Structure formats: structure tokens, C-alpha cells
Amino acid sequence: MNISKIAILDYKNRPFIEEHHIKGIKEVVPAVEVVYALSANELLHKAPDADILVTYPYVEGVIDYCKNAKNLKLIHSVISGVDILVNSEIRDMDIRITSTKGIHGFPMADHVLAYIYSFLRALPVFGQSQRNKEWNEAAQALCDETFGKTVGIIGLGKIGEYIAKKCKLLDFRVIALKRTPVQNQWIDKCYSTSETEQFMKEADFVVAIIPLTSETKNMIGEKEFGMMKKSAYFINIARGGIVDEVALVNALKAKEIAGAGLDVFVNEPLQKDSPLWDMPNVILTPHAAAQSPFYNDRAFKVLIENLQRYIRGEELLFESERSRSW
């Protein structure tokens, strides 16, 4: 298939496309015009006739651009999440949507392990003691280890599998929750959603890594937190909307669970009046789990592969089916 113009709508707070990536695109499609912008209005002015859009899908105005770019045939997301696209008016338009997958497991697994080891070794408590210049020997009693601990993973896609692999190699017992259970060498047991209570009861760390869909919205709430051990921790590196945030706050306040490691939230940035900021048993990070100095170049390889496949009329990598399951 012919490509005359590729539009790039980048994220100004953290650009995903660099100059050498644009040169790489032109090496694959020599005659193509590449138009780069940091705002949807600028891009619509410069490239209303683009064939392909490469974007961070949460850039303000991206939906309006797509609705007005009449020649647009393909949107490629530089991240894995495309829920904002497939749940918009674009869903009913004749535009294909692909995403960037297969590269997030490395940093996201490290991020999960950072949460886990921080809680096991009481680092939030010791960190506060350090800020208070307090030699807190009493907190030594809070230190724990991996022996006998179970990590439960909700969702077992590529990222979930990589998390499972790293945890298993570090001597954790690993279980998973999936709508349709599967066999996996890194999983000791995979539960179906009808067995959610048993899954929750067994896990010392519950890690959520599922897409946000109509099916998974507020999937984890008061009932599910009530199923967890009081000594267990909840970790969310998926999407904030899969959790009932009010129920999470209540569970943390009531000490129904021991704590939480949260990288994603219903509203981002997290509002300054959120009680989560001041909870001593919570570790917050600003949607940073996938970040890595290697991210952009890894993502670029996926883009280039899909451009080559698109030109040849072949099946595209990671094309959205507009209805994602986990």
C-alpha cells in the first residue's frame, strides 16, 4: 500500500520520536513526507491529509485530529494502551489502530519488584525515619523476605508473563487470574475469574496488569479488597480505572490490606487533595512503570516493522480488534 504522508503527534512532556527515528522512517519509505508536531491543532494545520498517524494517544486533541484527517487509514500508538482511541468515535471509523507491545516487560517487571522489595524490607517506614532523622530500630521488626511469599498476577499477557518469570526466578510462588486459564511454565496455578476469591486469599502481593475495558472498569473494589489477606499488598501498573479508588482508600485506611504500590490512577495527574498522597503504607509513582532509556528505540522497531508490513499488505503487529480481552 502507498504511503504519501505520515503525521507524528508527539508528547511534549516526554517525546517518543527523535530525529534519528524520523530519518529511519524515510529510509523505509523514501518518498514519504513526515510531518512532526507537538499539538493536534498544529498537526491538523500542517497535515490534514496524512495517511498514517504515529502518536501518544493521550495527547490533548488527538481524537479531533483523527476525525478531521479525512485520508487517515492507520493510527500507530507508541504505547500499548489504546483504550482512549477504541472507546471513542474512532471506533466506528474506517481507521485501523495498532499499538506498541512486547517491549514493556523489562522495565515494568523491575518496577513491580521495586514495590515488592520496598514493602518486604519496610523501606517506606525507614524512608520516613530518615527524613525525620530518627534511628528507628523498632521498625526492624517489619522486615520480611521472599521465602514462602506468593505473587498473584491479574492478567497474563506479555507483560504479566514477564513479571511472572522474574518473580518465579526469584523464588516466589506465582499464581495468575485470567478469564480463560492457561498453562504457563512460570505460573504455579492459573485461576479463572470464577475463582477470584481463592486467588485473592492466596496472594501476598496482588499485581494488576490488565487493559481498561467496559468489562474491567472498577473490576477491583470493596468486595475484592475484602478477599485479600490483611498482610497483603495491592500493586496497580495497569490503568487506574480498573480499580474503585474510593474502595481502595477505604481498605487502606481500615487496614483491610497492608498497603499499595500505585503507578496509575483514575485521574492523572493525581489530584493534590487525594488521601493517597499522605498514606504511609502507599508508594506512589507518576505512571512511570514502563519508562526506560531504551523505550524509544524499542518502540521505534515496532513502528518500522508495521510500516513495512503495511506497505507489503501483510498482517500488522498488535492491531486492535476494538474489543480486548485479558
**Which residues are annotated as catalytic?**
239, 268, 287
Do residues 6 and 286 touch, judged by C-beta distance below 8 A?
A: no
C-alpha cell at 174: 506465582
Evaluated on CA atoms 23, 25, 29, 32, the torsion sign reads negative
Query: String of b and e for 50-79 (b: at least 16 CB within 10 Å)?
Result: bbbbbbbbebeebbebbeebeebebbbbbb
SS3 250: helix
Q: Is the peptide bond before 293 cis (omega within 30 degrees of 0)?
A: no
User: What angle separates helix 105-120 from helix 158-169, to the nearest 10 degrees?
Assistant: 50
List the Cα angle 269/206/295 in 5-degree steps: 50
Nearest-angstrom CA–CA distance, 187 and 157: 12
Provide the 8-state DSSP code for 259.
Answer: E
Do residues 121 and 289 touch, judged by C-beta distance below 8 A?
A: no
Q: Who contacts 48 (Cβ-Cβ below 8 Å, separation ≥6)? A: 68, 69, 70
Q: Who contacts 3 (Cβ-Cβ below 8 Å, separation ≥6)? A: 29, 32, 51, 52, 307, 310, 311
Q: In Å, how far are 60, 168, 231, 294, 305 from 106, measured between CA atoms?
A: 28, 15, 27, 10, 20
C-alpha cell at 301: 522497531
